[in-house]
Amino acid sequence: MKSLRIFFLLIIPFMTSGQVTGFLKSSGSIIRANSQTADIFIDGKLVGQGEVSGINIKRNECITVQVSEVGYITQIKEFCKKKGMPSMEKTEYIAMPVDDSFEASDRSDYANNDIVINPKEKNINTSWLNAIRLITNYFDALEVNDNDVRYLRTAWVVNVFGNFTIRSRLIFRLTNENPLEYRFKLVSERARGEASPREDEKFKAWDRVLKRYNPLIEEVQSRL
């Protein structure tokens, strides 16, 4: 029993939370990301955050390493133990570039959701005109403006960042005349890489809004 306790005392110092292959001393490589909270995947399996040690690649095999975190650009690299293929160093430092579209935006519950507005001005013609004036301060071009049914949709505004294209537009419509009620929706979508605003298949709804539109949301709610 005493010898068993000594055995465990000897191996415990070599156990680390980031190890993949068990009780390793000096063998195996280390993957280190530039963020301590970055998720590290090997062949699609989450193996740790920030840093993972004890990685061994079998002879004539390869592994795919993915490092991801919100606000950064995902990095994917392949390492092999094959002649002529990229090998893994003792320590592999994987730096994720900052996602500049993330820095230029804020997460918002208003993105792609209807917001109900009960205007202070109860005259429908005046309140509609006030809304158009306010919206066109932020969106120059109107794609649809039907004054008969009180429906307005702006053209897409496109902002291209390093790795993503963001398209934004606003929909404003009358939903009730008595009591007077409008709804507006700030549509925010993102596509990977450069994309034309007409390439609908490339865009997906994004739960963030470019910071330039934050004042618009506040003004629509407070001034109409």
| Model pLDDT for residues 184-202, shown as the tens digit of each residue | 999 999 999 999 999 999 9
**Is there a single domain that holds both residue 127 and residue 61?**
no
**Is there a single domain that holds both residue 64 and residue 14?**
yes
How large a percentage of the chain has pLDDT more than 90? Answer: 78
**Beta strand ranges found along 20-113 (DSSP E):** 29-33, 39-42, 45-49, 51-55, 62-68, 75-80, 91-94, 105-107
Amino acid at 204: K
Task: State which of 98, 132, 165 marks the end of a domain.
Answer: 98
Q: How many domains does the chain have?
A: 2
**Is there a single domain that holds both residue 115 and residue 163?**
yes
**Is there a single domain that holds both residue 64 and residue 119?**
no
Q: What is the pLDDT of residue 224?
A: 80
Q: What is the pLDDT of residue 121?
A: 86
Task: State which of 50, 75, 98 marks the end of a domain.
Answer: 98
Task: State which of 98, 116, 140 marks the end of a domain.
Answer: 98
Cα 82 from Cα 86, distance rounded (Å): 8
165 vs 76, 157, 168, CA distance in Å? 21, 10, 10
**Is there a single domain that holds both residue 81 and residue 151?**
no
**Is there a single domain that holds both residue 127 and residue 152?**
yes
**Is there a single domain that holds both residue 62 and residue 118?**
no
> How does pLDDT run across 118-159, given as a tens digit for each residue?
998 889 999 999 999 999 999 989 999 999 999 999 999 999
Amino acid at 170: L
What is the CATH classification number for the domain harbouring 182? 3.30.530
CA angle (170 as vertex; 169, 174 as ends), nearest 5:
155
**Is there a single domain that holds both residue 113 and residue 93?**
no
**Is there a single domain that holds both residue 120 and residue 195?**
yes
Q: What is the pTM of this model?
A: 0.75
What is the CATH classification number for the domain harbouring 32? 2.60.40
**Is there a single domain that holds both residue 8 and residue 118?**
no
**Is there a single domain that holds both residue 144 and residue 188?**
yes
Structural domain boundaries enclosing 158: 103-223
**Is there a single domain that holds both residue 69 and residue 109?**
no
Residue 186's Cβ-count burial label (10 Å; 0-12, 13-18, 19+) is: buried
* Half-sphere exposure (Cβ direction) of 121: Cα atoms closer than 13 Å: 14
Is residue 22's pLDDT more than 80? no
